[in-house]
Structure 1
Amino acid sequence: MEKFQYGYFDCRNRPPPILVKHMQNDRISATAAQKLCLFRLFPIIFNDFIHDVPSMIVYKQLREILDLVLSIPFRKQWIPVLRDLCIGFHESMLLYFHTKMVPKIHFVCEYDKIINDYGPSIRQWCFRYEGCHAYFKKIALRSNNFKNVPKMLATRYCLKQAFKLSQLNRMKNLHYAVRITNTQRTSFTTQIKNILLDHFGRINPEKDLIQCNKLFHENVEYYRSSVYVLDLRDPDEQPIFAQIIYILKNNEKWWFIIDTLETIGYDESLCSWEVKSMDRFSLMDPHHMKYYYKGLDIYELKNSSFVSFTARFTLY
């Protein structure tokens, strides 16, 4: 686990090493975001032996439940499926981990009723609360200030927000680029040169184009080599993935050179989508990449590429 190479976006929530004392206490010391990252990448990190573990069915059932619970929009036709998954998960826990049954395991069986009465549960979750709670807890422990703690925490948080807004200036500038460099003519392949020629005409890439590694566009972060969901295929709602190859700017406007990946299929054992590059390059406006705002990382495993995320998409 310590040698596993996390991607750019997952590296922010990289979970700490699991020690022997954690296994003895049945508790992992990590934040909610780190635990979610570990849960999502669990089949990829431990792919060498998960196929020989009979209790892996518990993870797969919980993973399918989480994919449905975190879906927006949520189809009403999924409620019976979610109910069956919750019942199956409860039975599997009784079979394999009957000594680990806690109240949260029983609460899972109520998801279908909650979603049916109040809508998608992701609109009610407390994930951001957990993130803020971890921040305030860290500040309270490190400051050693026990006099009027609420005022101290509120002041620190206000100063932090003011500093961020003054640095990024997000309220005034919708584009914020990081690591801007000049482009080199030799860095583009012939196919990409033809795409630039068809769109911009005859230009000098070294003078008329600049590039960056990271772009914040309308508060969405785009990073080179990361993968984004462009759309869904109409018949089977299979995601269409695209990998950003270059982030270019011409005449005060940013453009993406993307590679539309071929979606091979969903790998049940790894709970991930297998993708493959077919060198289908194209030029795209950032406004057209808003289907799913989160950037995804590609992981290489057994000479194949996989993309993992916790959500189920639908066309309506």
Structure 2
Amino acid sequence: MITYSNLKAHVNEDSLQIRSSDVHNYHLDALKENDQLSKQTYGVVKECPFAELQYFDVTRAFPPDLMHDFLEGIIPIVVCKVITALHQLKIVTLNDINSELEAFTFGKNDRGHIPQTLPQSVLKRKLTGSAAQNLCLFRILPFLIGHYIPEGEIHWDIYLKCREIGDLILSPCIRKSIIPVLSFQIGEFLSSFQTVFPNTFTPKLHSHIHYPRLMLEFGPLKHLWCMRFEGKHQYFKRLSHNTCNFKNLCYTLSKRHQLRQCWELTSLDILHQRSYTEGERQVPFRSLPFDIQEGIALKSEVEDISKEEKVGIVSSLLTNNIKYKVGDTIIIDVVEEDIPIFMKLEKNHTVQGSLAYLWKMTDTQDIQLSLSCLFFGGPEKMGCC
């Protein structure tokens, strides 16, 4: 229950009146008495069609959508305002950012949504690109321009505060004890943003303050965003454009979609239950490094492995519906103070039908440690190391 003119005055929920079921029913009753006045006063236009459902509560059944709120609402505002300020202060220019962007090496998980070259419209608070591209740019921005930024730069500090919030609200798993910290960080970010950029404040920035309470109600909000629905919708948008048939578009889309589903479901391995490898080459067992030979002989179920036996070295493999590629880095554990432990996949081997992996442990600075692990199966079997 807040008006647009008072958005800037509140950076947390403590001083706000949250809509409840009883309050909302009162607003609906007021609509029947004076339609126009109630709309302007309470912001309720009409009753939700879903209200006819027995267990539906309009005030508690609509979690926020991080894709539209954060990726397409907050990130473009923060990135554009920060880049514009740094550009005007001549700390880093738009050409510098684009040059760094072109030279940046993207990982395989980001190659499908590499950010576009930033146009001049970015300086006018318009960030082009999809939600996934916005998130990718938001994540890699420190690697692009971090070395240009002087210590204590107040505009860059706004980005860092927003980045800390983004790491928490986009997390697939979060502890309840972190929620108060998130609430404090959001209040600090909104206060700093209003101080540095006093003329820019939108309802989506205000929506930040509700995230801690909503995460307690719904759990991690990333599981409830519209990204996957938009991905499915993209198929229909492409299909409508490619078929060029608009006489009965609904029939066309539903029929083509059903045919595609039938084709996919006829696959004998639709869920990739069987393992397969890519880029395999055969080498004699004796050509492997001695420590790997010992590890394979010790951990495999085969008692005697001939020195002349062929061993497969593969570039990638899929097992248990997970694809592992040489060079991949995964998190295997978290130690005290939430410090992650990383393992980097060095080699994949196939020995008489069994899969063997060679992993090297790395720290957060990507410095390889002396400990290496050789085991059969997948990372879920780390106990074999």
Q: Taking structure 1 as the reference length, what is the TM-score of the superposition?
A: 0.76
- State whether residues 296 and 356 of structure 2, in contact with CA within 8 Å, keep that contact through their aligned partners in structure 1: no
- Answering whether residue 128 of structure 2 is matched by residue 29 of structure 1, we say yes
Inter-CA distance 50–193: structure 2 relative to 1 (3 Å threshold): farther
Aligned residue for 2:140? 41
Confirm or deny that 1:14 pairs with 2:114. Answer: yes
1:229 matched to 2:331? The reply is yes
Match of 1:257 in 2: 358
The one-letter code matched in structure 2 to 1:58 is I
Structure-2 residue corresponding to 1:238: 339
1:17 to partner: Cα distance: 1.7
Q: CA RMSD in A?
A: 2.9
Is 1:189 aligned to residue 289 of structure 2? yes
Aligned to 1:269: none
CA deviation vs aligned residue, 1:68-119 (integer Å, no higher than 9, x gap): 2233432221111010111112112212333442221111111011012222
Q: 1:151 to 1:32 in 2, by over 3 A?
A: farther
Evaluate the alpha carbon distance shift between residue 153 and residue 118 of structure 1 in structure 2; reply closer, same or farther with a 3 A threshold.
same
Contact 1:76 1:116 in 2 (8 A): yes
SS at match of 2:369: coil
Deviation at 1:224, TM superposition (A): 0.8
| Preserved CA contact (<8 Å) 1:228 1:243 | yes
What residue number does 1:75 align with? 175
Distance 1:245 1:107, change over 3 A: same
Instruction: Give ranges in structure 2 of 5+ residues lacking alignment.
Output: 1-100
CA contact (8 A) 2:316 2:323 kept: yes
Alpha carbons 1:226, 1:244 under 8 Å: kept:
yes
Which structure's relative contact order is higher, taking Cα pairs within 8 Å and 6+ residues apart? 1
- Normalised by the size of structure 2, how large is the TM-score? 0.64
Structure 1, unaligned runs of 5 or more? 264-272, 292-316
Structure with the higher helix share, 1 or 2: 2
Q: How does 1:67-106 map to 2 (within 5 A)?
A: 67-106=167-206
Partner AA of 1:218 in structure 2: N
Is 1:121 aligned to residue 212 of structure 2?
no
Name the one with the larger strand percent.
1
What letter is aligned with 1:244?
Answer: L
Q: Distance between the aligned counterparts of 1:206 and 1:40, measured in 2?
A: 48
| Greater C-alpha radius of gyration | 2
- What is the aligned partner in structure 2 of residue 305 from structure 1? none
Counting aligned pairs with the same residue, the percent is: 25
Q: 1:171 aligns with which of 271, 285, 295?
A: 271
The 1:172/1:33 distance shift into structure 2, 3 A limit, reads closer
Do structure 1's residue 216 and structure 2's residue 339 form an aligned pair? no
